[in-house]
Structure 1
Amino acid sequence: MPQTTETAVLRRTVQVDGHDASYLTVPQDSPVVLLLHGTYWSRVWLPVLDLLADAGLRPIAVDLPGLGRSAGELAPDTAEVPALAAWVTRFVDALGLTGPIAVVGHDIGGAVAQHLLMAGDLNVERFALANSVTYDSWPVPGVARFRDPEVVAAVTAEELLTARRQAVTAALAGAATEPLVTEYLDPWTEARVRRSWMTLAGAADSRFTLELIPALRESPVPKLLIWGEDDAFQRIEYAERFAAEIPNTRLVRIPGAGHIPMENAPDAVADALVEFLTT
């Protein structure tokens, strides 16, 4: 799939619950692909947006409330996965999208995607996960520690930014450069976003994925897993288990890629998504 030389990606906003919800998109009259982030932000999807659009799809990568470029601030109840899934449903309604859509989730956004699939409030016709949380694979230690209120109360802005720098650098794997890491970290320079992120981390709970397994086994919706094989956060063994246990699931491995394979191998990720979503 050829790379585009000029990006057609735009950042837009729409009102959800009285706050601006920010999202990246290539606006065109095409089948919608809703792309969800987790402990990062919509920036994780940027490398593949033009590629998806060139293949005749309409990618929409939204920032969850209080994160990335979206306004508002998460609270403990609104940061739980089912509440985030309900918010995404309201975001889709605010955009006026009424037809069938494809949903793709990365990291904790994959837990949100699983809830969207099983809740039935959206017409999800295709479903994909990219290095997502599944089963009891989460929260990882760097996230789980923020479940302790004393940790949240004591952490300084500098400490959180240092921790996020380390996590982002590891997640980007071979794609990590100082300019790219700095770009990823930019939203966390805002206190409101730091608070929202810690609230999201504090609400991380594997029961939100474990409780869906019986229903996922009964789901007829086609499912795709795209996995960077070198991910130290969400190990590929979990993807292998999901593919083996959940019917209608195919696993695509991305050799040499880490937790954010969209940065390590955008062509391979986009090719896998396009083949899955357009056939």
Structure 2
Amino acid sequence: MALVSIEHHEFSLIARAASLNVQTLGHGKPVLLLHSGAGPGSMMPLASALEARSHVILPTMPGFDDQPRQAGIVTIGDVATLYLSLLEQMRATDVTIIGNSVGGWIAAEMALRKSPRVSGIVLLDAIGLDPSPEGGAVLDPLKLGPAVGAYAFHDPQRFGTPPDEAAAERIRRNQQVLLTYAGEPFMNDPTLRRRLPKMPVPSLVIWGESDRIVTPAYGYQFAQLMPNARFKLVPQAGHFPQIEATAVVVESIAEFVGSVISMRQS
């Protein structure tokens, strides 16, 4: 089923009007999907797989896929505030936030704000932690050139090449936009590590075993830092497990959401 575009949401953020392109599909418990630096297309397989049981909300980060930038939204924290405003305007409750790469970082930032609308987070090969000897650092896809597919995917021959040059150029532009939000320090917030132990909601950290952009050791650190987190290593998947191992990711999310509901009812 194709994603159905809805009208732009107009709401006030940082004393300014902001518009956000949002796609929705499906019915059920709301899930907010937050895309990576590759753009919203990287979440499409997961969105389609979840729509049978969930109300899927997929916003496009300002500036991505040639959407306009928004005045006053210049940091990852600003994007987190923007998305929380979206949930407020949509009157969404009991939301599971699922974020890949930088989307995982934004998901963590949103949850740390202690919004009553957020019930849990799922981090798919998230970034945001500052470098450490144990976890390493985030590699810059723009510096890897044609080799980026081999670093990002378990099976780069199948998944690592964009379908055409237009798609490849769009991804490059998206990566450049991401640098404006999180280029300095590169793809991390030095304060995140000390804030994660205060995570107020249950968390699931899913990691592709073959990810060489951010290694599984980096993912283990994410899970270890949060008080109510579990870690799931996915074989035969890289930085985008929702693309290479969609069924495994969907099953893991369903189990996680079920456990969150059970905890609230007990």
For 1:164 and 1:73, locate their aligned partners in 2 and report how far apart those are by CA, in whole Å.
Answer: 26
- Per the TM alignment, residue 113 of structure 1 is displaced from its structure 2 partner at its CA by 1.1
For 1:181 and 1:257, locate their aligned partners in 2 and report how far apart those are by CA, in whole Å.
Answer: 23
Select between 248-257 and 197-206 the one with higher mean Cα deviation.
Answer: 197-206
Cα-to-partner distance string for 1:123-158 (whole Å, 9 max, x where unaligned): 211111000014214873526xxxxxxxxxxxxxxx
Shift in CA distance, 73/169, structure 1 to aligned 2, threshold 3 Å: farther
Higher share in helix: 1
- Per the TM alignment, residue 44 of structure 1 is displaced from its structure 2 partner at its CA by 1.3
Shift in CA distance, 180/171, structure 1 to aligned 2, threshold 3 Å: farther
Which of 113, 132, 140 is the equivalent residue of 2:107? 113
Shift in CA distance, 11/187, structure 1 to aligned 2, threshold 3 Å: farther
Structure 2 counterpart of 1:87: 82
Cα-to-partner distance string for 1:55-84 (whole Å, 9 max, x where unaligned): x21121211001126x22267x62311111
Residue type at the aligned position of 2:29: P
8 Å Cα contact 1:107-1:130 kept in structure 2 = yes
Which of 47, 50, 67 is the equivalent residue of 1:49? 47
Shift in CA distance, 195/232, structure 1 to aligned 2, threshold 3 Å: closer
Residue type at the aligned position of 1:199: T
- The within-5 A match list for 1:193-272 is 196-203=177-184, 205=186, 208=189, 210-272=190-252
8 Å Cα contact 2:32-2:98 kept in structure 1 = yes
Cα-to-partner distance string for 1:26-72 (whole Å, 9 max, x where unaligned): 142x2111111231211111112222122x21121211001126x22
Which of 162, 170, 182 is the equivalent residue of 1:187? 170
8 Å Cα contact 1:228-1:255 kept in structure 2 = yes
For 2:84 and 2:159, locate their aligned partners in 1 and report how far apart those are by CA, in whole Å.
Answer: 33
Structure 1 counterpart of 2:159: 176
Residue type at the aligned position of 1:239: G
For 1:135 and 1:189, locate their aligned partners in 2 and report how far apart those are by CA, in whole Å.
Answer: 23
Count of residue correspondences: 248
8 Å Cα contact 2:87-2:117 kept in structure 1 = no
Calculate the TM-score normalised by the size of structure 2. 0.79
Percent sequence identity over matched residues? 22
Shift in CA distance, 84/268, structure 1 to aligned 2, threshold 3 Å: same
Shift in CA distance, 106/179, structure 1 to aligned 2, threshold 3 Å: closer
Gapped runs of 5+ residues in structure 2? 12-16, 260-266
Gapped runs of 5+ residues in structure 1? 1-6, 144-159
Structure 2 counterpart of 1:147: none
Structure 2 counterpart of 1:72: 68
* 2:138 maps to 1:140: yes
Calculate the TM-score normalised by the size of structure 1. 0.75
Shift in CA distance, 107/204, structure 1 to aligned 2, threshold 3 Å: farther
Select between 125-134 and 167-176 the one with higher mean Cα deviation.
Answer: 167-176
Cα-to-partner distance string for 1:157-207 (whole Å, 9 max, x where unaligned): xxx7x97765356424413264546575353587xx676344235355565
